[in-house]
């Protein structure tokens, strides 16, 4: 399959992760930009598993990859599980192919068999280190072994690798230089003498190295654009040489701006969560992650912050990329998360928050404590389902807290008081500013009498009702609200009181206020009776 470099019949790009770790922000950014670019050009986005590094491979990382992208709602047009005409899309299922291509290069004198043992290479490295030699990598000892000898030794079963012959001969007096144009960084020139000397293409166990498998697959899969992290830039001259050796056109390369922490160092665990799994567990929404990550190193429209995946796909282009490194700002991501939480309706938000509430024991006690806070997994089945009444309260509670949270995991603690009577705090907590116990008791008595009626009307009517009472009694509205708020919610700072009363209902509201009043009255020191006891329960 030959690719014209100028006008492509169809854009084909890919995300080509090595399953040697959890999916993280950097990987998501690469995947997302490839996805958006393909979408923006009506092309195809391909997933390819580069699983040839068997020492660091783990099946759980493959599962994590699938789970992560399913959760994010990012789908590939071709890839493992999805299929496509250029498969298989898993490199460990393509081993024969790489061997065939490496041998073909050797037969054409663009690559060569190397019989150096691992011990020899190690000794070479140690020797150079001891001599503080500036030379690095392989000393090209096997580069010029005559073809017949090579064939004889290989046929006799002598272990060997296949190495790429980096062109070194002078052409018209200039040392060989590899040149390509990066779509973001412009013209890149690399002296061949500075490229890793004759890198291995095929290892002695028959597995390809990253370079060989990556180039062969990008070619065979018809990849037109390679958008990848900047850390791969040093490999690209070598890839360009490989494409030339094969006689293939290389795809267009675009190395994406780096992602840094706020200290200007490459984003890593030191800065906080970086694995998508961790963000997911902490209650981030996929929309927020996608929106924020799509802005890491790209700008779309002045003054517009919120974009859906579709809106991003409409706007994305390589001309939207910035050269400067992107700074990952956790605060900014938190802001996005809050925005997307507020866009959910109560039912949707309740569905998202349900596992967190179950794990936090809001609907009763739960199973394995190590699963607390983690919304996915088998143990979820052990968690109690809310009763219909609990479900009603839970959904209605969403309206109370939506504006006040940035993360799903904050929800259970904010609304626990709606499910179980809160512990009564110390008497002082009930006192409005400058008030004492006697004043607090008087105010709470008023509040207690209003609690039932206020719970039975709309929030506006409840507000009018208590304003009225405050005026009639000559007390400040805030002073009247404080002890009632503490009685109902257990805290001076809480979600809106009127809404809480409505959700709890008249009976529970009155009961809680009465219970708190009894406690305050019991706190009055002996011989210092508070006001005459006129509590008749109305
Ligand atoms: N397997 C490489 C990685 O893990 C792919 C790099 C590339 O896109 O060429 O990122």
Query: What is the DSSP track for 254-299?
Result: EEEPPEE-TTSSBP-GGGS--BHHHHHHTT--HHHHHHHHTTTTB-
Nearest atom of ligand 1 to the alpha carbon of 214: 9
CATH label of the domain that carries residue 250: 3.40.50.620
Q: Are 90 and 80 in contact (CB under 8 A)?
A: yes
Please give the DSSP secondary-structure letter assigned to residue 7.
S
Q: Tell me if 277 is assigned to some domain.
A: no
Of 14, 15, 18, the one to substitute when testing ligand 1's pocket (max ligand atoms within 8 A of C-beta) is 18
Compute CA 381 distance to the chain's CA centroid, rounded to the nearest angstrom: 25
Whether 269 is a known active-site residue: answer yes
Q: Which of 391, 418, 445 is the last residue of a domain?
A: 418
Tell how far the Cα of 177 is from the centroid of ligand 1, in angstroms: 24
**What residue ranges of the chain have pLDDT lower than 50?**
1-5, 367-372, 377-380, 533-538
Long-range contacts of 173-182 (CB under 8 A, 24+ apart): 178/237, 178/240, 178/241, 180/236, 180/237, 180/240, 180/250, 180/253, 181/252, 181/253, 182/233, 182/236, 182/253, 182/254, 182/255
Rounded CA gap, 152 and 68, in Å?
A: 50
Q: Tell me if 322 is assigned to some domain.
A: no
Residue 149 shares a structural domain with residue 122? yes
Identify the H or E element spanning 124. helix 118-130
Instruction: Tell which phi-psi region holds residue 324, choosing left (phi > 0), alpha (psi between -120 and 50) or beta.
Output: beta
For the record, the structure tokens of 251 come out as 């795809």
Q: Tell me if 335 is assigned to some domain.
A: no
Question: What is the pLDDT at residue 130?
Answer: 87
For the record, the structure tokens of 494 come out as 């809480």
Q: Tell me if 532 is assigned to some domain.
A: no
Tell how far the Cα of 231 is from the centroid of ligand 1, in angstroms: 10
Neighbours of 75 (CB within 10 A): 12
Nearest atom of ligand 1 to the alpha carbon of 30: 8
Q: Say if ligand 1 is within 6 A of residue 510 CB.
A: no
With the C-alpha atoms ordered 334, 338, 341, 346, is the resulting torsion angle positive or negative?
positive
- Kindly name the residue from 191, 265, 269, 332 that is annotated as catalytic: 269
β-pair type (259-260, 326-327): parallel
Q: Say if ligand 1 is within 6 A of residue 51 CB.
A: no
Residue 174 shares a structural domain with residue 226? no
β-partners of residue 12 are 44
Long-range contacts of 409-414 (CB under 8 A, 24+ apart): 409/282, 409/283, 409/356, 409/373, 410/283, 411/283, 411/353, 411/356, 411/357, 412/353, 412/356, 412/357, 412/359, 412/360, 412/362, 413/360, 414/495
Tell how far the Cα of 20 is from the centroid of ligand 1, in angstroms: 11
Question: What is the pLDDT at residue 270?
Answer: 85
Backbone angles phi, psi at 46, to 5 degrees: -120, 140
Q: Tell me if 537 is assigned to some domain.
A: no
Residue 459 shares a structural domain with residue 518? yes
Q: Say if ligand 1 is within 6 A of residue 225 CB.
A: no
For the record, the structure tokens of 316 come out as 């994305």
pTM over the 0.85 mark = yes
Rounded CA gap, 422 and 450, in Å?
A: 20
Q: Say if ligand 1 is within 6 A of residue 287 CB.
A: no
**Which residue in 166, 165, 149 sits closest to 115, CA to CA?**
149
Q: Say if ligand 1 is within 6 A of residue 232 CB.
A: yes
Q: Say if ligand 1 is within 6 A of residue 50 CB.
A: yes
Residue 135 shares a structural domain with residue 155? yes
Please tell me the residue having the least CA distance from ligand 1 atom 8. 228
Nearest atom of ligand 1 to the alpha carbon of 20: 4
Structurally, how many domains does the chain consist of? Answer: 4
Three-state secondary structure string covering 407-468: CHHHHHHHHHHHCCCCCCCCHHHHCCCCCCHHHHHHHHHHHHHHHHHHHCCCHHHHHHHHHH
β-partners of residue 187 are 181
Q: Tell me if 286 is assigned to some domain.
A: no
Tell how far the Cα of 413 is from the centroid of ligand 1, in angstroms: 42
Q: Say if ligand 1 is within 6 A of residue 491 CB.
A: no
First vs last C-alpha separation in the chain: 88
Rounded CA gap, 349 and 406, in Å?
A: 12
Residue 77 shares a structural domain with residue 134? no
Residues sharing a CB contact under 8 Å with residue 179, sequence separation 6 or more, in sequence order: 187, 188, 189, 190
Rounded CA gap, 443 and 451, in Å?
A: 12
Rounded CA gap, 339 and 406, in Å?
A: 8
Residue 105 shares a structural domain with residue 196? yes
Tell how far the Cα of 337 is from the centroid of ligand 1, in angstroms: 29
Residue 32 shares a structural domain with residue 168? no
3-state secondary structure of 253: strand
- Tell me the helices (H) and strands (E) count for the chain, helix number first: 19, 11
Q: Are 185 and 224 in contact (CB under 8 A)?
A: no
Please tell me the residue having the least CA distance from ligand 1 atom 3. 17
Q: Say if ligand 1 is within 6 A of residue 214 CB.
A: yes
Rounded CA gap, 480 and 463, in Å?
A: 12
Q: Using CB atoms within 10 A of its CB, is residue 373 exposed (0-12), middle (13-18) or buried (19+)?
A: middle
Q: Say if ligand 1 is within 6 A of residue 18 CB.
A: yes
Identify the H or E element spanning 163. strand 161-164
Q: Tell me if 403 is assigned to some domain.
A: yes
Residue 16 shares a structural domain with residue 82? yes
Question: What is the pLDDT at residue 1?
Answer: 36
Q: Say if ligand 1 is within 6 A of residue 228 CB.
A: yes
Residue 129 shares a structural domain with residue 196? yes
Residue 158 shares a structural domain with residue 226? no
Residue 148 shares a structural domain with residue 189? yes
Question: What is the pLDDT at residue 366?
Answer: 52
Q: Are 150 and 240 in contact (CB under 8 A)?
A: no
Of 210, 227, 230, 239, the one to substitute when testing ligand 1's pocket (max ligand atoms within 8 A of C-beta) is 210
Q: Tell me if 530 is assigned to some domain.
A: no
Residue 411 shares a structural domain with residue 349? yes
Tell how far the Cα of 17 is from the centroid of ligand 1, in angstroms: 5
Output b/e per residue, 204-224; b: 16+ Cβ within 10 A. Answer: eeebbbbbbbbbbbbbebbbb
Q: Which residue has the tokens 């890198």?
A: 199
Compute CA 421 distance to the chain's CA centroid, rounded to the nearest angstrom: 37
Tell how far the Cα of 209 is from the centroid of ligand 1, in angstroms: 12
CATH label of the domain that carries residue 186: 3.90.800.10
Q: Using CB atoms within 10 A of its CB, is residue 372 exposed (0-12), middle (13-18) or buried (19+)?
A: middle
Q: Where do runs of H (alpha helix) occur along 131-209?
A: 147-155
Please tell me the residue having the least CA distance from ligand 1 atom 2. 17
Q: Say if ligand 1 is within 6 A of residue 408 CB.
A: no
Residue 168 domain boundaries: 95-202
């Amino acid at each position: 399959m030959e690719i014209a470099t100028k006008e492509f019949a169809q854009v084909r790009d890919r995300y080509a992760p090595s399953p040697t770790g959890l999916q993280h922000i950097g990987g998501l950014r690469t995947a997302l930009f490839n996805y958006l670019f393909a979408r923006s050009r009506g092309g195809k986005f391909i997933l390819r598993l580069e699983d040839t590094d068997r020492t660091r491979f783990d099946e759980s990382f493959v599962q994590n990859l699938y789970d992560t992208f399913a959760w994010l709602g990012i789908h590939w047009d071709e890839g493992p599980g999805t299929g496509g005409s250029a498969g298989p899309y898993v490199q460990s299922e393509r081993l024969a192919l790489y061997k065939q291509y490496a041998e073909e290069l050797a037969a054409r004198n663009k690559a060569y068999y190397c019989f150096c043992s691992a011990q020899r290479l190690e000794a070479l490295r140690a020797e150079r280190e001891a001599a503080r030699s500036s030379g690095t990598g392989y000393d090209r000892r096997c580069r010029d072994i005559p073809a017949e000898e090579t064939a004889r030794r290989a046929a006799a079963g002598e272990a060997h690798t296949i190495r790429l012959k980096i062109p070194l001969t002078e052409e018209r007096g200039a040392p060989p230089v590899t040149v390509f144009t990066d779509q973001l960084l412009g013209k890149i020139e690399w002296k061949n003498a500075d490229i890793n000397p004759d890198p291995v293409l095929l290892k002695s166990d028959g597995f390809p190295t990253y370079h060989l498998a990556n180039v062969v697959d990008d070619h065979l899969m018809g990849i037109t654009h390679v958008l990848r992290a900047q850390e791969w830039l040093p490999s690209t001259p070598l890839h360009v040489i490989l494409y030339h050796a094969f006689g293939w056109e290389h795809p267009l390369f675009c190395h994406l701006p780096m992602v840094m922490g706020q200290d200007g160092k490459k984003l890593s665990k030191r800065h906080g969560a970086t694995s998508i799994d961790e963000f997911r567990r902490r209650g981030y929404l996929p929309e927020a992650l996608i929106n924020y990550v799509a802005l890491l190193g790209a700008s779309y429209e002045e003054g517009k912050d919120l974009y859906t995946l579709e809106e991003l796909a409409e706007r994305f282009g390589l001309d939207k990329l910035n050269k400067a490194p992107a700074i990952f700002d956790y605060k900014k991501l938190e802001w996005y998360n809050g925005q997307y939480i507020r866009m959910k309706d109560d039912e949707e938000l309740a569905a998202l928050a349900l596992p967190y509430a179950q794990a936090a024991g809001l609907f009763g006690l739960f199973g394995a404590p190590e699963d607390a806070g983690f919304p996915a997994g088998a143990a979820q089945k052990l968690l109690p389902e809310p009763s219909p009444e609990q479900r009603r309260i839970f959904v209605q509670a969403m309206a109370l807290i939506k504006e006040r949270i940035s993360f799903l995991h904050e929800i259970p603690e904010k609304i626990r008081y709606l499910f179980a009577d809160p512990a009564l705090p110390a008497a002082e907590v009930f006192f409005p500013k400058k008030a004492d116990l006697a004043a607090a008791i008087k105010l709470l008595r008023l509040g207690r009498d209003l609690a039932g009626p206020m719970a039975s009307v709309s929030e506006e009517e409840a507000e009018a009702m208590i304003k009225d009472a405050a005026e009639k009694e000559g007390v400040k509205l805030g002073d009247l609200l404080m002890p009632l708020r503490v009685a109902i919610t257990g805290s001076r700072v809480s979600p809106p009181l009127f809404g809480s009363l409505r959700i709890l209902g008249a009976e529970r509201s009155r009961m809680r206020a009465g219970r708190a009043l009894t406690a305050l009255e019991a706190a009055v020191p002996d011989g210092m009776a508070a006001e005459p006891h006129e509590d008749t329960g109305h």
